[in-house]
Chains A and B, each alone.
Chain A
């Protein structure tokens, strides 16, 4: 879970915390092992995967103490840490923000390090800035039209990133805050059902 500057916006981190705990709970109920890594400009906490309610409580305590920081995430560092610590193929679910062009590029370039060995799912919050042009009420003013076009262009860029990551075997999902818990649990159950791990 990314707790750097972009996750500090508009309650994004709070949504990620809720979704990650939900995911951990579902994994625990399924009898699977689950772990947690939090990072910003360095890897803050790494909890090796285990099963059981006690481990869930530990993850919960760790995640509740997480605070957003005004720093840029260092994907290179966190990918290195995960690569070093995870010897067996694992399902890695990322909660991060990739609406910044440079961060998106860095993520797409460096994720190959992990995606060769592990199954990687990336969840990015679908903010108001990524709303499609023809969603919602029709624009009232010319400014609204330009705003809608800008959002659509950002969405297109995210779509390009999605395709680039898909070519590397990484699935990027835009999740909305209201349905995030359900969407993330569905992703996990879908992976289990299709036995892609």
Chain B
């Protein structure tokens, strides 16, 4: 039977226009909330227009009208069958993701820690056998002077050299340290070679500083200076390195038959969780370094600073070990 197109259009057009106006409202205001009646009406209009389109397909070959209805029905379909989940921050899941990813990739963390310890040992022996190597191994002006001289200067300081610039200083520390962590992760793209170099280099500096200060008998100063922020900063850099090694592992794909893109997809969540967690730790470390680590005896006793650092380390270890464990 041939459809009376003029009559069909005259009867159905008000419904099409109504649907078009509802969709227009949605498209100008995506957060629009509808009442139940309005939702039911939208569904009815969608069903009706879909049926009209089916009828046109059945009876008619009017291309422009069919194009119009197809567009209308597809717009309504995408509004009704919206598949994007509403963006909600699930703090609990977010908080758990980091330690869970850390534990899942504990092997990579062990390797990162091993490389850093190896680098530290290298730095230690290099300074012990050739103290002149200090300028090469510790290229920071603050570390160039002899440890005893620095400790004496810090302990006798009458003015707060960071007064008024603590926020700026902590922001600089956060930015720099996060850059190092991200570099350790990104360097994983070089099949892990870059990550190993970053970790080894950090280890060398750490070992050299430790050898310099411990050799000068300034162990208490060193612990009081490094532990408050180092108990967060060093694990965070190691976690950055852990992420880089995970990335390298996915690229290399030992004993895996999956294609590379599938392997990379499989580690993406863990990489985000690890680097996000490391960045969070480095923000805390930056604040502690600026507001606590730079103040020494007699302003802050070393025993208090060391105890603070040990507590931080224990809390971090407990968080990474127990949070999110089933």
User: CB within 8 Å of B: which residues of A?
Assistant: 5, 41-42, 71-72, 74, 77, 100-103, 153
Which of B46-54, B68-76, B239-247, B315-323 contacts the other chain?
B46-54
B272 at the interface (CB under 8 A from A): no
**Complex A-B: 21 CB contacts under 8 Å:** A41-B1, A41-B58, A41-B59, A71-B54, A71-B57, A71-B58, A72-B51, A72-B54, A72-B55, A72-B58, A74-B1, A77-B1, A100-B50, A100-B51, A101-B44, A101-B47, A101-B48, A101-B51, A102-B47, A102-B48, A103-B51
| Residues A42 and B1 in contact in the complex (CB < 8 Å), given A5-B54, A72-B58 | yes
B40 at the interface (CB under 8 A from A): yes
**Neighbouring A residues of B59 by C-beta, 8 Å:** 41
**Neighbouring B residues of A102 by C-beta, 8 Å:** 47-48, 51-52
Q: Closest CB-CB distance, B15 to chain A, in whole Å?
A: 9
Ordered nearest first, which 7 A-B pairs have the shortest CB separation? A102-B51, A71-B58, A101-B47, A72-B55, A72-B54, A77-B1, A102-B48
Q: Closest CB-CB distance, B206 to chain A, in whole Å?
A: 50
* B side interface size, CB within 8 A: 13
Over the window 57-81 of chain B, the binary record of Cβ atoms lying under 8 Å from chain A Cβ atoms (1 yes, 0 no) is 1110000000000000000000000
Q: Closest CB-CB distance, B81 to chain A, in whole Å?
A: 12
**Closest A residue to B45 using CB positions:** A101
Cβ B47 vs Cβ A100 within 8 A: yes
Most buried by B among A41, A100, A102, A103: A102
| Residues A153 and B58 in contact in the complex (CB < 8 Å), given A100-B51, A103-B51 | no
| Assembled-state Cα–Cα distance A42/B55 (Å) | 12
**Neighbouring B residues of A103 by C-beta, 8 Å:** 51
Over the window 28-50 of chain B, the binary record of Cβ atoms lying under 8 Å from chain A Cβ atoms (1 yes, 0 no) is 00000000000010001001101
**Neighbouring A residues of B40 by C-beta, 8 Å:** 153
**Neighbouring A residues of B58 by C-beta, 8 Å:** 41, 71-72
**Neighbouring B residues of A101 by C-beta, 8 Å:** 44, 47-48, 51
Q: Closest CB-CB distance, B51 to chain A, in whole Å?
A: 4
